Amino acid sequence: MIAASPAAAGERIELADVLNRYGDAYMRDHYLRSSQAKVVNAIRCCRTAALGGHCEWCSGCGFLRYAYHSCRNRHCPKCQTLAKQQWVLLRRRELLPVPYFHNVFTLPHELNPIILYCEENQRLLLNLLFQATAQTLLAFGRKNLGGQVGFTLVLHTWDQQLRPHFHVHAVIAGGALKTDGWTSSGRQFLFPVRALSTVYRAKFLEKVAELCSAGKLKLPPQLKHLGTPDGLKKWLRGLRRKAWVVYSKPPFSGPAKLFDYLGRYTHRVAISNHRILSADADQVRFHYRDRADGDQRKIATLPAAKFIRRFLQHVLPCRFMRIRHYGFLGNRAKKQALASCRESLGAAEPEADPEVKTIAEWMLELTGLDITCCPKCGDQLLRVRIPRKTNSPSAQHRPPVTVVRFSSNVLFDTS
């Protein structure tokens, strides 16, 4: 590993480029689950002629540009920006005028081979991660605060080098809702970390033992001994002796900033395009931050097949919810519970739910650019639809478009 240096001028490598160059060879040599194959195809097709799009032009100056549709896959590093902004906005509107706390519940790496062995294991154990975390926090809320706490859990499955690292981030309001009103935590830390870790570990391993005993987990060859009572008992004993990491810290710069931080990852997976530096000679280079070395920025170089394998480890099962709300933030009773919390705290009700903004509205708000107007003369852009190019799923070229000029008008034939 070496210290990072800037990429060559003008060079821009994306995850889609890596998959276009090396994806076919990888899929010939490796088994992909259907969910992984869908992700690979979606990322390769994203913003290409394969998904169709539209052509925009200015009738005043003749400016012309193409814009292809995005795949909207939650694993694609180019998509979900609009969904992320809406999510952060809604979470900010739910904030109460109380301190908020940030906890991280991590699974030991000894569980990684079982989680990654098959999609059924992944679904069962990641659901169990949510369940054990939520039960632990709710139990501590009842015991220490005498009421119901409210929190949001966000699943992350990776570290900076794309290796499996399963953990959930918890954003927790500093208090609890009781039958007679709100009670504040009044502490620098909401709950003691060691006690959280002990209870969380016990709840998780209890359910893992039940799943193994019932034969619901498929065991990889190196862990076949867990299929016997003695082997399972010995393995669980080793995990109980291990300290499970539960990190706890009040959100720096306030809870709104914490949601901005989590928003970068709620609708993205594993790696962003700006971190990929090059993809050539069957090698992929990307930068990462080394937490063990003072958060120093470094460069990692991996064989292309290994890079793709690491990325695909973080593809979640279809329809798996990686953001969940619990306690008085649970979806079923959230509106009424939040109203009770605000009434008890003397806080004003937020404004009506914001209207869903379009991409053009978000771009205007965030960057000040109106993408519906010509960047040269400022006139309103006209648009024509480009159909999907179904005969080439990963087409990179523009579809045939005939441009005919009549004085200041531009006509298009997209047939």
- Greater confidence (11 vs 222) lies with 222
Q: What are the boundaries of each domain within the chain?
A: 11-74+372-413, 81-270+314-349
Separation between Cα atoms, residue 165 and residue 167, nearest integer Å? 6
Phi, psi of 120 (to 5 degrees): -65, -45
Give residue-wise pLDDT tens across range 323-353.
999 999 998 889 999 999 999 999 888 876 6
Predicted pLDDT at 7: 43
Other CB atoms within 10 A of residue 279 CB: 21
Phi, psi of 290 (to 5 degrees): -90, 100
- Greater confidence (321 vs 261) lies with 321
The CATH number of 81-270+314-349, from 3.40.91, 1.10.357, 3.30.450, 3.40.1310, is: 3.40.1310
Separation between Cα atoms, residue 98 and residue 146, nearest integer Å? 17
- Greater confidence (359 vs 298) lies with 298
Predicted pLDDT at 27: 94
Distances in Å between the Cα of 254 and the Cα atoms of 98, 209, 250, 257 are 10, 39, 8, 6
Least confident window among 126-130, 157-161, 181-185, 381-385 = 381-385
Separation between Cα atoms, residue 376 and residue 354, nearest integer Å? 32
String of DSSP letters for 299-339: EEEEEHHHHHHHHHTTPPPTT---EEEEETTSTTTHHHHHH
Predicted pLDDT at 372: 83
Other CB atoms within 10 A of residue 285 CB: 18
Single out the residue of 89, 197, 100 nearest to residue 150, CA to CA: 100
Predicted pLDDT at 354: 61
Separation between Cα atoms, residue 138 and residue 168, nearest integer Å? 15
Give residue-wise pLDDT tens across range 224-268.
999 899 999 999 999 999 889 898 876 666 777 777 777 777 777
Q: What pTM, to 2 d.p., does this model score?
A: 0.85
Contacts of 320 (CB under 8 A, 6+ apart): 123, 126
Separation between Cα atoms, residue 183 and residue 204, nearest integer Å? 29
Predicted pLDDT at 374: 87
Average model confidence (pLDDT) for the chain? 85
Predicted pLDDT at 49: 86
Predicted pLDDT at 208: 96
Contact present, 102 and 251 (Cβ < 8 Å) = yes
Q: How far is CA 14 from the centre of its chain?
A: 18
User: Measured on CA atoms in the order 344, 346, 351, 356, is the torsion positive or negative?
Assistant: negative
Give residue-wise pLDDT tens across range 8-53.
445 689 999 999 999 999 999 999 999 999 999 999 999 888 888 8
Contacts of 271 (CB under 8 A, 6+ apart): 15, 77, 158, 162, 286, 311
- Secondary structure E strands in 58-188: 64-68, 100-106, 150-158, 164-173, 175-178, 181-184
Q: How far apart are the first and last CA of the chain?
A: 52
